[in-house]
A and B are shown apart, each in its own frame.
Chain A
Amino acid sequence: MDTPPFIGELAQLIGVDVLDVHSDNVAADAGAVSAAVPGLASVADGADSTMDRATDGYEGESATALAENWQGVGGGLRQTAATMNVLPPVVNGFASVASAAKVAEITQLVSLASVMKAALGAGAVGAGVAASRMAVTRAAVQRIKHTFERGVATRLTPAVDRITLRLEELGEKAAGPRGGLGNPALAGAGGRVSPYAGRLPETAAGAERGGTRMGMRWGKKDETGKFHGDLPRTTNDMTEKEKRRIQKDLEDSIRTREEEEAWLGHSDAGHRRRMEDERKALGMIKEDFNEQ
């Protein structure tokens, strides 16, 4: 199955693997999204009942998870609707690869990604506003994190945490003067910025360069707080975004490993060597940034 451009784009944006394909759920996904999105876009306040209808066709665990999660996120859904102008195309793309139970989570991720991109476009003020909105979204994401079984959730939520943390850091440096929802660049009618506008050619070029990326070339930090998987040995062919992501992952990982070492009072030889290798990889990336 081809990976829709939106998928690779969003996955790259948040620094995760492309979602797993669950071919059995493709038809159900498409049905859920087409039922849910129009209702959400036009009537945010009636979103709960819209989701009820959207889940009518499901049975079993995934339906329960989706329905429960949707109830749990509550206001998060309405908040998501503020960025709904970018949701339909993205969700339609996701629908071809994501399972039904994950639609709610993806919606949140799209919202986060949208806020993040819009904030970058809006400069420091936008970052402050985005950070305020993140406080709302964090609660929803936190609940999602513990609602779904392992799989996509475990791969995506660490990335969401990173995005949220970064936005909070930005927010601390530049508090928004108008509060959370007042920024027209993020939520105002007619003034919203689609984070995906104009980005498809870049995505297509990326796809040509690297082909369909069903997996990352390098490892990443997972929910253990450590970088697991192959360490980069070169920054060649690494995008700026990837470099920043790997740098942050490695910094976090080394910090976690140092904590572990402190608790155990020592490190086994393998762990020590791994820490050395991660420090080298981090140094390489930092050096690369310095040379630019």
Chain B
Amino acid sequence: MSSESGSMHPRSGDDLVERISLQPADDAVVGQAANDLLAELSAGYPVENIGRLLHSDDDVCVSTGTWLLSELGDRAGPMMGEMPALLAHPLRQVRFFAVEVVLMNAGSQHGAVLAQTLELSRDPEAAVRWKVLRFLAGATVAQLAAGAEQLPAGAVRELTEWLISQETGQVDPREVATRLGGHDPTTRLFAAAAAARLAGSDRALLERAAVAEDEEIRSFAAARLR
């Protein structure tokens, strides 16, 4: 849905990147320019050119650039090299949208980035954990396996391997239910992901997740049950 951004002529992708970079504090400018830029990207403007926003010292530019990548779905692959920095960014909305970029673009060769994403299951921000839960529920087994391989020995690796086993081995719904009610929040998060992945054959687990003590799990499960 490209528009003319207030001028008589559509702006080029470079112009739009420039406009966001020069006026990051102006919401009206950034909102319009970001969406025009999204249209440009859809039309073939090289996604690599978003790098200027991602490398900016301005938080709005970085956040807008990451959001743009998340809006590209599975066409943000060329920017996977930027993910380590974005997943570790101090702004939670940057980490939030970066998780989505990983979900849609990471392959088996991106084990390190996938591992970093899995580690965010322990992010201090509930919003990020909520996004990671969506990642855990939607990631392919290959993505999870590639990430697990790169994780150091420890809880997140064990939980990831357990989640994979829910796909590849014998499923014990009682174990998922027990984990949903466990004491460790990360264990509950992975159990909720398992509940979502198994919801095709057993919605009772998701219903149980919908009354979990963690808001991000309750919210996630309730939405899946709608």
- Which residues of A are at the interface with B, using a C-beta cutoff of 8 A? 138-143, 146-150, 154, 222-226, 228-231, 233, 255, 259-260, 263-265, 268-274, 277, 281
Contact = CB atoms under 8 A, between A and B. Distances in A.
7 contacts: A148-B140, A149-B107, A228-B71, A263-B96, A269-B60, A270-B34, A273-B35
A150 to B, nearest CB: 7
A224 B130 contact: no
A274 B96 contact: no
B34 A273 contact: yes
Given A263-B127, A268-B64, A268-B93, A224 B100 contact: yes
B100 A147 contact: no
Interface of B: 1, 27-28, 30-32, 34-35, 38-39, 42, 60, 63-64, 67-68, 70-74, 92-93, 96, 100, 103-104, 107, 126-127, 130-131, 134, 138, 140-142, 167, 197-201, 216, 219, 223
Contact of A222 (B32, B73, B134): B73
A268 B198 contact: no
Contacts of B219: 259, 263
B34 A269 contact: yes
A268 B60 contact: yes
The secondary-structure label for the interface of chain B is helix
A269 B140 contact: no
A229 B107 CA distance: 22
Contacts of A222: 73-74, 104
Nearest to B138: A223
A200 to B, nearest CB: 32
A263 B71 contact: no
B109 to A, nearest CB: 12
B1 A263 contact: no
A224 B73 contact: yes
A274 B42 CA distance: 14
A55 B99 CA distance: 37
B194 to A, nearest CB: 11
A272 B1 contact: no
Contact of B74 (A141, A150, A260): A150
Given A264-B96, A270-B34, A273-B31, A233 B1 contact: yes
B60 A146 contact: no
